[in-house]
Amino acid sequence: MRTIVTEATAARTGEPPELVFLHTAAVHVHTFDALLRELQPQVRARHVVREDLLAAAQRKGTDDPSSKASVAAAVANLDATPGSVVLCTCSTIGGLAESAATSTRARVIRVDRAMSEKAVAAGANILVAAALASTLAPTEALILEAACSAGVNARITRLVVEDAWPLFEQGDFDAYLGRIADALKKVADCDVVVLAQASMAGAAEQCPGLSVPVLSSPRSGLESALAAWDASVARRQSF
């Protein structure tokens, strides 16, 4: 007979919830480890890097059935403890990861959801900046979803820094961020800038003189995941 492990049974047997990071680039491990040490170092965390998921989404698109199946399988294979939280740090596959939540016993959160909610609160005229074009559609769809929930008539414009991504792939992260920062310094006629990829976060620090807020996803996404993790721990303690 197969035993189904629920959050309640896990709590009784002492299995602690985890915070599991699903990355598509190894560089994010350090970024989120540093943030976690600052925000809530006692949380038990685990990192899983699946570069192949982003590569496949770039080739085939996020609407392709095989892309959806691959992300769903990756989420299921995380084998997270019941009550755990999975934070997908890739904006391109984040929506697929959230949709795959039924394949795991954990809650799945995409890193850019909280950022999108902050963006529509900042204004209706939103510029989405990306270094990878495949990130634009998922990010814009999420912003429009947040705008609809908030009753905001959002207007989105795009900024693709096409020559930045090859620098990221080469591991030249300083040049990557510098190229994005140079593009941001020319931004005008918007209420808020959204950096579509977590890897872009450092670019905002290089252009402090911008007249509009520049939002990135790592901190707000992790704060959202930690809030969900805290709520899970509180529920388990009540069992």
Q: Does the structural domain 114-216 have CATH classification 3.40.50.1860?
A: yes
81-97 pLDDT, tens digit each: 888 999 999 999 999 99
pLDDT score at 239: 66
pLDDT score at 14: 60
Confidence label for 7 from pLDDT (cuts 50, 70 and 90)? very low
pLDDT score at 80: 87
Tokens linked to 8: 């309640």
Is the pLDDT at 1 greater than 60, yes or no? no
> Quick check: do 7-111+220-237 and 114-216 share a fold?
yes
Is the pLDDT at 11 greater than 60, yes or no? no
Cα 152 to chain centroid distance, Å, stands at 22
pLDDT score at 12: 38
The architecture of the domain spanning 7-111+220-237 is: 3-Layer(aba) Sandwich (3.40)
Cα 229 to chain centroid distance, Å, stands at 16
Mean pLDDT of the chain: 91
Closest CA to 22 of 44, 53, 65: 53
Phi first, then psi: what are they for 219, rounded to 5°? Answer: -70, -50
Q: Which residue has the higher pLDDT, 81 or 201?
A: 201
pLDDT score at 37: 97
Domain parsing of the chain, residue ranges:
7-111+220-237, 114-216
160-181 pLDDT, tens digit each: 999 999 999 999 999 999 999 9
- How distant, in Å, are the alpha carbons of 40, 133, 171, 178 from that of 223? 9, 26, 27, 26
What is the rounded CA–CA span in Å between residue 84 and residue 185? 40
What is the rounded CA–CA span in Å between residue 13 and residue 152? 46
